[in-house]
Amino acid sequence: MKHNAYLIPWDKKSLKVNQTEILILGSGIAGLYASLKLKGEYQVTIITKSRITESNTEHAQGGIAVALNVDDSPGVHIEDTLKAGAGLCNIEAVKIMAEKGPECVRDLINLGTEFDRVNNELDFTREAAHSKNRVLHALGDATGGEIERALVEVVQKSSGIRVEENTFVIDLLREADQSIAGALVYNEDNKKMEAWLAKAVVLATGGIGQLYKYTTNPEVATGDGLAAAYRAGAELMDMEFVQFHPTALLLPGAPSFLISEAARGEGAKLVNHQGERFMENISGKELAPRDVVARAIWSQMKTGQVYLDFTFASIQRLEERFPKISKTCLQYGIDITKTPVPIGPAAHYMMGGIKVNNGGETNLPNLYACGECACSGLHGANRLASNSLLDGLVFSAVIAGTIKKKKLTMPTWAEIINFPASQEGIQDTIKETKGPPQLKSEIREIMWEKVGIIRHEEGLREAAQTLEHYSHHFFPELRVEEMELANMLELSLLIAEAALHRHESRGGHFRSDYPLAREDWRKHCVQKKGDRNISYESI
């Protein structure tokens, strides 16, 4: 793979050039809400890889955590978030999320989001590591889909927002002073590369779940925004911290469908192949932090299948609360009211990402990031359940506020750094021995087995060496699957290297050879292109 700012050779003379004042990449909760907060004052364009509704937001089940219940407060929400984050949270970012959260969620409701209610009052439930019932849900277990529906409807009716679907972000366009000036994209409808110039670029491109063999994330979650930002010179932070959801459907031939944490919040029990509960003697039991539950399940799976048992509940309650889970399991012959559901952990969420300050700014002028692709240290080493939707919501609003205080200028096409084609090294390609589908499968297997739930030095070193070899010898062509693969390679190597260098266990990062957390490792890992040495920043 080419080790410079751009993934694919291109020439300024041959590209169609579009302009917009604000370019938002991604159409999940963060991208959509940012567009609504910026419209009116700016001409806004949303670019999205697939359809506007396809994102991790759409697939979020459990809900959105917010301190709106009568016995709750932002202060208690802050405490719970810090506790789950295992000593690595950015306290100021946590305060911003918890304190601005109620206002932003009320705005979501005003925009048409219909959360579940009981006697016309909002219905709050509890998930792992929350001390209060603070998780709002919609349509039982389809919260993300309902939020996405409401936001998409408002966006599509807004005259000041343009949406470009089926458009893949290849790279960020740069000026000579490292300022970000827009994006280089591949329009799948006309099969052509295009340029978008913008006064500011907001990355809201989501996570990296597809780097792993088992994931709850949709197929679009290949980390394209993170990889493009990294190539452009943006710093990435805490890439070793990947959250594995403890309970995903585990059946031959079935996708790794998420079984929401809310199920355990409602009382569903984890049992091993002998029908025994194995969380009984662990603090928090089924509602312990996700990393604890995932490792306990992983350990039990060495001797047999693990199950989530819903059969305690009334059929009516299950149908009301988990219609999506019930329907999906039934497609595979499992009636959750009668039969325990076979489950296993799956890659779910990236706590790390593009390093941003509390205003959503990156180290590159005119580039902002929010949602799962961003990392301010908000989630620390382990995200608290249902804080992800609130993160995307709050910090997209924060970014809108940051941008409105700036004096923005439109870049000129003449100032953009060009990248003409070069034949140097092109023949040195791994595609002669491995096709892209085989290589993708191998990357996902390596990440699952060696950079997954339980890690150790030998496996991490082997993974890094293999991934680095592939990365140096893979040259993507102008096809989405190959560009995705290049991004997956780049990010997989960064995660493996970050995990190799963190000599402790904390939150989502567990090393069997360094099983304890260490005070001298209460620091953030920072990686930047062109610098092979990982740097660290103290909390």
Active site residues: 290
Q: CA–CA separation, 265 vs 313, rounded Å?
A: 12
For 340, the token pair is: 């325990």
Closest CA to 26 of 59, 51, 7: 51
3-state secondary structure 68-130: CCCCCCHHHHHHHHHHHCCCCCCHHHHHHHHHHHHHHHHHHHHCCCCCCEECCEECEECCCCC
| φ, ψ for residue 20, nearest 5 deg | -155, 160
Q: CA–CA separation, 504 vs 215, rounded Å?
A: 25
First to last CA, the chain: 34
Burial of 36: CB neighbours in 10 Å, binned 0-12, 13-18, 19+:
buried
What's the Cα-to-Cα distance from 534 to each of 68, 140, 168, 407, 528, rounded to whole Å? 40, 43, 29, 34, 8
| φ, ψ for residue 98, nearest 5 deg | -70, -35
Dihedral sign, Cα of residue 433, residue 437, residue 441, residue 446: positive
| Ranges of H-type helices in 301-342 | 315-321, 323-331
Q: CA–CA separation, 302 vs 320, rounded Å?
A: 34
Q: CA–CA separation, 138 vs 120, rounded Å?
A: 14
CB 214 within 8 A of CB 328: no
Q: CA–CA separation, 337 vs 351, rounded Å?
A: 34
Q: CA–CA separation, 468 vs 1, rounded Å?
A: 10
CB 346 within 8 A of CB 216: yes
Q: CA–CA separation, 138 vs 151, rounded Å?
A: 14
Helix (H, G, I), strand (E, B) or coil at 231: helix
Helix orientation angle between 387-404 and 143-157, rounded to the nearest 10 degrees: 30
Q: CA–CA separation, 400 vs 404, rounded Å?
A: 6
30's CB contacts (< 8 A; 6+ apart) are 204, 370, 371, 372, 391, 392, 393, 395, 396
> Where does 388-431 show beta strands of DSSP type E?
none
